[in-house]
Amino acid sequence: MAGLLGGLVLLTACGLSLAQPGVPEEAAAAADAAAHAPLTKGEIKARRDFQMLDFNKDGKLSRAEVALFPRLAAAFDTADTDKDGFVSFAEVEVFAVQYRAERAAAKAAEQEAAGKK
């Protein structure tokens, strides 16, 4: 009986840890970045996402590699600034900067609109 109970506790513990994949790793990466590198948390995430998406590890994203991600697929042509059919990490960085600027501008406009009401 005690053995069965122990098994259940173990299963629950496993289930909980599976429910939050990568959280400790992300926290560790952020702490590591703060300690060593001038990279922001967002840049580290972007780099990791890029490497994760780059299935064939050729250092660039093809349309097929982002096909599973509708938002990325939609942004593909915009991000591919030199129109070679691939998005390099440099292109992702440029796109991310523009995207963040647009988001910030949109948010500022939103707040301004909300403030006027």
Helix (H) or strand (E) holding 60: strand 60-62
Rule CB under 5 A: say whether 58 interacts with Ca ion. Answer: yes
Quick one: tokens of 116?
């006027």
Which residues lie below 8 Å from residue 50, measured CB to CB, with a gap of 6+? Answer: 61, 89, 92
CA 77 to chain centre: 19
| Least CB distance to Ca ion at residue 86 (A) | 5
Per-residue x/- marks for Ca ion, 1-40, CB under 5 A? ----------------------------------------
From 10-18, 26-34, 37-45, 83-91, give the range in contact with Ca ion by CB under 5 A.
Answer: 83-91
Residue from the set 50, 72, 76, 80 that interacts with Ca ion by CB under 5 A: 80
